[in-house]
Chain A
Amino acid sequence: MISSPHSSVRKISSGGPGGEAPPGPGRDHNHLPGDLLMWVLILSELAVFGAGLLAFLSVRLTDPTGFAEAQSHLHRTGAAANTLVLVTSGWLAALATRAAEAGQTRGLRLLLAAAIAFGAVFLTLKATEYADLWAQGIGTETHAFYTFSYLLTGFHAAHVAAGMILLTLVGWLGTPKAVEAGAAFWHMVDLVWILLFPVVYLL
């Protein structure tokens, strides 16, 4: 089992990795860790995907049988495997943040390379699913279910691809701040998938 490294993103006001110091005078324990802009991005992405998933479930009310039949064509096992792939990748990115804080440049690059490799596995499994659907003649116009599922999972996959590029860049830079920002984006991608997967594939 993978245990969660605590506080991948540093708390700016705590003065130490993980911000795990006990409460005390002068400490602001409600200061957002990391970059404010990254949190704006995280909130924006959660709002966009949340709205998309709510719309998906709302439209499903008009044709639950059709949605259930359409869902049966998706690769549920592959998507479940992709959840494990992304969670593992997020853990590696968190370890890379720790390595960056410890000044271990070679270590952080190896960890980020592994995280990126898991991202590639995710995209490969996703591409396999798309190819199989297309081979069955299933496109975005086939049913409302596929319009939403292609849109939501495709937009998420685009974020995975962007995250892989971002992790490559921050690995090249190698500074703790850059690695922290890249890892935060990667965790956001993970977070969105955690919400998207059960709604689109399981319910």
Chain B
Amino acid sequence: MLLALSAASAALAASGVTGAALVLPILTLAGIKAHLILKDYLGLGTAPGWLRGFDLGLALLILAFATLALAA
């Protein structure tokens, strides 16, 4: 799954799209990958409260990334 998502990011970047059409999907894919690493590899799938907390923090960070990237 992580490999497929990473390949999708690379394909999107190579497709030539720019602006919000590039920034939003790429950062969304990064957020999904980070969620999967936290849930499956770091074991937060067994601690849903902590997983939600980490997801919220990551979502805010990625939202800040997107805002700054689109403002440039």
Contacts and interface: CB of A to CB of B under 8 A. Distances in A.
A190 interface: yes
A10 to B, nearest CB: 7
B47 A11 contact: yes
Nearest to A4: B40
B4 interface: yes
Contacts of B34: 191, 194-195
Say whether chain B's binding surface is mostly helix, strand, loop, or mixed. helix
A172 B37 CA distance: 25
- Interface residue range, chain A: 35 or more
Contacts of A107: none
Interface residues of B, number: 40
Contact of B43 (A30, A34, A91, A199): A34
Contacts of B49: 29-30
Contact of A83 (B9, B45, B72): B9
B68 A61 contact: yes
Interface string B28-72: 011001101110111111111110000001000110110011011
A87 to B, nearest CB: 5
B1 A54 contact: no
A58 B65 CA distance: 9
B46 to A, nearest CB: 4
Given A83-B9, A187-B41, A190-B37, A54 B65 contact: yes
A134 B6 CA distance: 28
A110 B5 CA distance: 27
Given A9-B41, A191-B42, 15 more contacts: A18-B46, A29-B47, A32-B50, A46-B61, A57-B72, A84-B7, A87-B2, A87-B3, A91-B2, A187-B41, A191-B37, A194-B30, A194-B37, A197-B30, A202-B9
Interface of A: 1-11, 14, 18-20, 29-34, 42, 46, 50, 53-54, 57-58, 60-61, 64, 67, 76, 80, 83-84, 87-88, 90-91, 93-94, 183-184, 187-188, 190-191, 194-195, 197-199, 201-203
27 contacts: A1-B4, A2-B2, A4-B40, A4-B41, A5-B41, A8-B42, A8-B43, A9-B43, A10-B43, A11-B43, A18-B43, A19-B43, A34-B42, A50-B61, A54-B61, A60-B68, A60-B69, A64-B72, A83-B9, A83-B10, A84-B6, A87-B33, A90-B41, A93-B41, A190-B37, A191-B42, A203-B26
